[in-house]
Each structure stands twice: as C-alpha cells, then as structure tokens.
Chain A
C-alpha cells in the first residue's frame, strides 16, 4: 500500500446555465510515496488545482477518492498543509501572528513561550527576521510566500500541497525561494504534491511529473520520472542532457500532445485550438536562450 493514493478521482462541476454537468477530469489515478515530490503540469482548465483541493479536503471528488496512510480523505486536516498561489495570509495579522496561528493550531497544548520560540525558528528559517511585526501588505510577493511556506512547514504536515506557489513571484526571487523550499523539504522530508505551469520549475524540484491532457474531461496522460541526481543546481541543469531531454519531452507534450484520447486535434472546433493555446513555454524558452 502506498502512502498517498489518488484513486480514480473524477470531478464534475455543475453547468452554469442548467445544462449537463461539466467533467473537469476523469479517472485520475496515481500513487505518491512517502517523502516523494510529485508535480502536476497541465494547461489551465485541466483541473490540477481542483485535484489539489480535493487532496486538501477543501473540495470533494465526484467519484473515486484519495487515501492517505490507508484512510480516506474527507475533510481538511492538519496533516495536509496548503501553500496557496495568492499566499492567503491573514492581512490583519502580522507575519509572526500568521505563523503563530498555525503553530497554535498544531500544538494546542503548548505553552505560549514554547509556541513563540517555535514560530521564531521558522521566521528565521525563511529569512524574515526583522519583519515579524509587519503585515503582509507591507511585504513583497516573495516575502509573502516565504511566510506561506513557513506557515505550512511550521505545522510539520505529512503532506505539503503547493498550488502554483511561485506563479505570483518575480522570476529572480522565484529561484531563491525555490531553493528555500528544497532546503526545507530536504530537512522535513515531507511528501509534496505541487501544481504548476512552469516546466523548468517542475523538473528542478520534482521526483516525478504528472502530465494532464487538456480539459474539459482531462486525463492523466503520463508520469515522467525525473532521474536527475540531487542536490540539483539551476546552473548545472542548463546544459544537462537529461534535463534538456525531459524539458523538450514535456514541452512537446504540452504543445502538441495534450489532447485527450478520442478527441484528436482535427476533431476540435477551429477556434478551440486558438483559445486553449498553451502560452507559458514562451517565457522559459526565452529564459533558457538568454542563459545559454
């Protein structure tokens, strides 16, 4: 039995104007081992964030289920912490209090001084010492997500769910925070499920990458093993053959092959290709070109 098992999960959304339900994705099944870092990559609308929310317990699957350590997930819990794309920090609380909220929830029996010391450790871990008394609005996106990471790690969850955590952070800061994530993950050895658009990020961080076809009725098309040895450095990956092979494989899938079986490209209405065109690769390609 594996650690975290996504078992034939299907998600239907009610149609907006009374029509039939819309199937976001169907029959998604895969397993994540303890301590593994698995990333899901796919186009907007393939339901990857929805799947993440189902694992978090914030949404319910229409069919199938998610099993963590042999128990089915039905509601949110402290064993699964989410790092949100929009940070989702409480704007009326300071940095310190945001993390403190989580630590207190994880350890309701702890004494106040104990809690505060523990919070301070995580504040320092993400390099936010000195900014404890600031509110999130006074911080940059990168610093806010550091708080998000500290909040998530501070509860020492079994599973960490990262919902496009670096999407709203500028490209230069992104690398630094990715390194911080790797450091914290290496230290904690928690199991991670991440959702992203960024192929480079997925390869840099993951043990395996799950590729989704285009929605609606998205399917899990492939699980790509990332055999690159750790620790990985961005500098060394740039002209690593395996890295480049993985990268072009995934990009080719996203650009050409991310069409579900039973609906070939010719079968789609003409404008559908136009409107669902994958736009993200442009940026990573340009970045790789400028670095080469």
Chain B
C-alpha cells in the first residue's frame, strides 16, 4: 500500500516535470513576444500577482485574490440556495413515485440546457448583471443535486421507512432522523457534481457580465494580451475546484454508512 503510494507520487511528479519541460521547450522555440509564454514567465507573473493579491486600483485593475473572492461569493450564494431548493424538491419527488415520474420529463429536458442559456432571460427580467450571474450558478447547481436527492430518497430501504412508520415519527423527525441521513451519500454526491459544474459555469458567466470575478479577470487579461495572467488564472481556477471538491469529499466520508 505504502510502496504503491510512493510509486504513484513518483510517476505523477515525473509526468508533471515532463509536461513543464515540453511546454518550456515549445515556448522557447518561438520568437520573443509572440506565441505561448513559457512556465518561467507564468511563474514570474504568479509571484508578482501573489505578492499582492488583494489590491484594488479601480474597476479594471484588481488583485487576483479579490477576483477569486468575488467568484467564490457568487458561487456560495447560488450553490447554497440551489442546494437547499434541490434537496427539498428532491425529497418531495423521491417520496412520491407518481410525482417523480410526472416531473422527470421536464427535468430531463431542462438538465442538458447550459446554464448560460438562461442568462438573457435573467438579464431581461431582473436587470442586474451580478444577480444574473448568481442565478446562472443557481441553475447549474440545481439539477445534479435534485436528481441525486430524488434517487437517493426513492431508493431508501423500505425497512427504515417501516421503522419510522411503526415509531410514528412526525414528518419532521422522519425527515431529519431517517430520510436525510439515509439519502445523505447520494445527496452529497449530487452536491459534489453541482459545485463542480457551478465552478465551471461561473467563469463563463463572469466573462459575459464583466465587472468582477475570475472569469472577468481572464477575459480582461486576454484583452490586455497578458497570456501569463490567463494561464495563471487557469491554474488558480483548477486548484480552487480541487479544494471545493475535497471539502465535499470529506463531508461525504463523514456521512457515509455501511448497511
């Protein structure tokens, strides 16, 4: 087990180094000022940006920390609200086979719609770009959690519900002590997919709305032709995505149970 781990880490490091070398060689083969910047240039920019991540020099010049914070703030609101709605809706659907099957076609139609497609409607109705972005996050977080919760609740073992029925638990206690814990692994799996797709969607949404956020930052740096910043932002987005997922993965381990 331990030796396996060492081997995996070794291979992983080698692959990373190789990718960096190829990238550097590729970048070095091109005339200065044109082509893709190499890892050294990106590292220099990263050092520069991380030295002062929270500076604020007006609308078009903010530190990357501020931009990420803006995105994470939107994500937190949109994802949390969507999760609450999706869990509540999923429980209702999961408990009623009729409703589940009746609503399912609509969910199936809405699920593959890119959350960005809703953007014009949101902009038109609420006339606020930042809130529209939050609603895009909401839309992207809704369906995975809804579908997973409904599935998780619908497949709760009959025995647990029988025990709840015999003990004549009130609906609230039934929800809190039986239904939610029983479906928790499925629900958290949905939450993980949701936060992943929300984090993917936020970049695109912020490119459209402008103002603040890591998506806007990427677009702005592209307009400045600062590709090193763009590449660094890509890495930062990926890293934060990993951290978000790791947090929920810990939650899922805590809520897991064996029958």
A residues apposed to B, CB below 8 Å: 56-58, 75-78, 80-82, 84, 86, 88, 90-93, 101-102, 105-106, 135, 137, 155
Contacts and interface: CB of A to CB of B under 8 A. Distances in A.
A185 B101 CA distance: 46
A137 B159 CA distance: 16
Given A101-B177, A137-B258, A92 B159 contact: no
B167 to A, nearest CB: 4
Interface in B36-61: none
B244 to A, nearest CB: 25
Given A77-B168, A78-B168, A105-B168, A92 B163 contact: no
A77 B182 CA distance: 22
A90 B163 contact: yes
A58 B160 CA distance: 12
Among A75, A76, A86, the one with the most B-chain Cβ atoms within 10 Å of its Cβ is: A76
A88 B162 contact: yes
Nearest to B184: A92
Contact of A105 (B159, B160, B167, B182): B167
Contacts of B255: 92
Contacts of A105: 167-169, 173
Nearest to A53: B162
Interface in B133-179: 159-160, 162-163, 165-169, 173, 177-178
Given A90-B163, A105-B168, A105-B173, 16 more contacts: A75-B165, A76-B162, A76-B165, A77-B168, A84-B162, A90-B160, A90-B177, A90-B181, A90-B182, A92-B181, A92-B182, A93-B177, A105-B169, A135-B257, A137-B258, A137-B259
A88 B258 contact: no
Nearest to B168: A78
Contacts of B184: 92
Contacts, number: 60
A153 to B, nearest CB: 14
A78 B164 CA distance: 10
A155 B168 CA distance: 12
B11 to A, nearest CB: 35
A283 B192 CA distance: 50
Given A91-B259, A92-B257, A84 B159 contact: yes
Contacts of A91: 257-259
Among A77, A81, A90, the one with the most B-chain Cβ atoms within 10 Å of its Cβ is: A90
Contacts of A101: 167, 169, 177
A165 to B, nearest CB: 14
17 contacts: A56-B166, A76-B168, A80-B166, A81-B166, A82-B162, A86-B159, A88-B162, A90-B163, A91-B259, A92-B182, A93-B181, A101-B177, A102-B167, A105-B167, A106-B167, A135-B257, A155-B167
Nearest to B160: A90
Nearest to A100: B177
For the complex of A and B, list the 8 residue pairs with the smallest distance between their C-beta atoms, beginning with the closest.
A88-B159, A105-B167, A137-B258, A92-B257, A76-B165, A91-B257, A92-B181, A76-B166
Contacts of A75: 165
Nearest to B256: A92
B169 to A, nearest CB: 6
Nearest to A82: B166
A88 B162 CA distance: 9
A91 B184 CA distance: 12
B181 A77 contact: no
B178 A78 contact: no
A78 B166 CA distance: 6
Among B169, B184, B255, the one with the most A-chain Cβ atoms within 10 Å of its Cβ is: B169
A137 B257 contact: yes
Given A84-B159, A135-B257, A90 B166 contact: no
Given A84-B159, A90-B160, A77 B166 contact: yes
B165 A58 contact: yes
A124 to B, nearest CB: 22
Contacts of A57: 165-166
Contact of A88 (B163, B169, B173, B181): B163
